[in-house]
Amino acid sequence: MKRNIYTLIILLFGITLTAGNPDRQGEAGAAELLFNPWARSAGLHSMSTSFVSGVEAMRLNVAGIGRIENIEFSAGNARLYEGADLGFNAFGFVKRVGTGGAFGVTMAAVDFGDITRTTVDQPGGLGGTYSPSFFHVGLGYSQTYANKISVGLLVRGVFESVVDVSASGFAIDAGVQYVSGDNDEFRLGISLRNVGSPMKFDGEGLSIQVVPPGSDQPLTLQQRASPYEMPSQLNIGASYDFAIGTENLIRATTNFTSNAFGRDQIGVGAEVILLENFAIRGAYKLDFGDSSGALDNIYTGLAGGASANFKLSDSFGLGIDYAYRATNPFKGSHNLSLRVSF
């Protein structure tokens, strides 16, 4: 088993040699797969690859879904790019099963709001509105060995539709987490995200009616859309816990992100956990590598957040999380999450 895990780690590291090509920027679709609706990890600029757990792990590193006591429900909302009227909502459920196993279900959808219907001839609107439907559903499983090594796999269905045009596909996430130290203070995580089938829009919305010259009978022509790839991504992260007394700690983390269709990113962050009930966190992320002909990623610069956990009984807990991330352009993104565990 250890040999298989080490082989997986080597393979994931090897992918970094071919990922991160800025010349391919703009060729991928389904960009909402990179959105993060969860506030705890968003407060660290999504750089918690090495220690993320529970429902949030199904977004960043599925290997961590089993690092909870028993059951966790979570709901999250992100107000993306303040001023753009764009939202992202998610819900998830995780349960431990058997010896070291855990499975989870997650659903997420983009909230575009109501968009005015327009045409070339009537740019002021036709008097109606529409709202695209971008929806994901995922099923994940992880296995933890001796509380030190966790491996996980998640399959996600991706569905996108706009009026009479739609596309669908699937994406696979895989991840590894490793914990070491007398008090589990050192953590290492590797995750490969959004590797899946190409997607292609199709439907009646791509058909037009034309009347050929010399004929009075209209013909329906079907336009063919080009396929597009998933925005695959590799994350490698590490963290270390510095104990302050017996109930407080500072967790320092760093993370490298290799984007297959854009510039790579690297960042550092830290969170202070007080009495296991309160936490504040902050992070800084930047792009690096060849920038010729490539745009900067939207999420660069500072991020921060806070959490409050309430132990309502020996087996029932409630958590509330908030995060803010700087964006370029726009006015930043806000995240709010609610967690229930028992």
Domain boundaries defined on the chain: 2-341
> Which class in CATH covers the domain with range 2-341?
mainly beta
Residue 205 has pLDDT above 90, yes or no: no
Which band of pLDDT confidence, cut at 50, 70 and 90, is reported for residue 17?
very low
**Predicted TM-score (pTM) above 0.85:** yes
Mean pLDDT of the region 180-201: 92
Q: What percent of the chain has pLDDT over 90?
A: 60
Give residue 23's pLDDT.
Answer: 60
Residue 6 has pLDDT above 80, yes or no: no
Residue 93 has pLDDT above 90, yes or no: yes
Looking at the DSSP assignment, which residues form a beta bridge with residue 154? Answer: 140, 173
Residue 118 has pLDDT above 90, yes or no: no
231 burial level (CB within 10 Å; 0-12, 13-18, 19+):
buried
Give residue 19's pLDDT.
Answer: 45
Taking each continuous run of H as one helix and of E as one strand, the counts in the chain are 3, 18
Query: Which of 147-151, 171-175, 218-222, 321-325 is least confident?
Result: 218-222
Pairing outcome for strands 186-196 and 233-244: antiparallel
Which band of pLDDT confidence, cut at 50, 70 and 90, is reported for residue 36?
very high
Q: Quickly tell me which residue has 């959490």 as its tokens.
A: 307
* Residue 14 dihedral angles phi and psi, to the nearest 5°: -65, -25
CA-CA-CA-CA torsion sign (56, 82, 287, 233): positive
Which band of pLDDT confidence, cut at 50, 70 and 90, is reported for residue 318?
very high
Give residue 178's pLDDT.
Answer: 93
CB 26 within 8 A of CB 261: yes
Give residue 18's pLDDT.
Answer: 45
Mean pLDDT of the region 110-115: 90
Please tell me which residue, 134 or 82, carries the higher pLDDT value.
134
Q: What is the pLDDT of residues 50-79, one digit of tens each?
A: 999 999 999 999 999 988 889 999 999 999
- The number of residues making up the chain comes to 342
Residue 34 has pLDDT above 90, yes or no: yes
Please tell me which residue, 281 or 131, carries the higher pLDDT value.
281
Q: Quickly tell me which residue has 């995922």 as its tokens.
A: 138
Residue 13 has pLDDT above 60, yes or no: no
Give residue 16's pLDDT.
Answer: 45
Mean pLDDT of the region 210-230: 86
Mean pLDDT of the chain: 88
Please tell me which residue, 290 or 155, carries the higher pLDDT value.
155
Q: Residue 231 gets which letter from DSSP?
A: -
Distant-in-sequence, close-in-space partners of 157: CB < 8 Å, separation ≥ 6:
136, 137, 138, 168, 169, 170
Mean pLDDT of the region 201-218: 85
Q: What is the pLDDT of residues 282-309, one digit of tens each?
A: 999 999 866 655 567 889 999 999 999 9
CA-CA-CA-CA torsion sign (201, 202, 204, 209): positive
Q: Quickly tell me which residue has 């565990």 as its tokens.
A: 341
Tokens at 145, concatenated = 């060995």
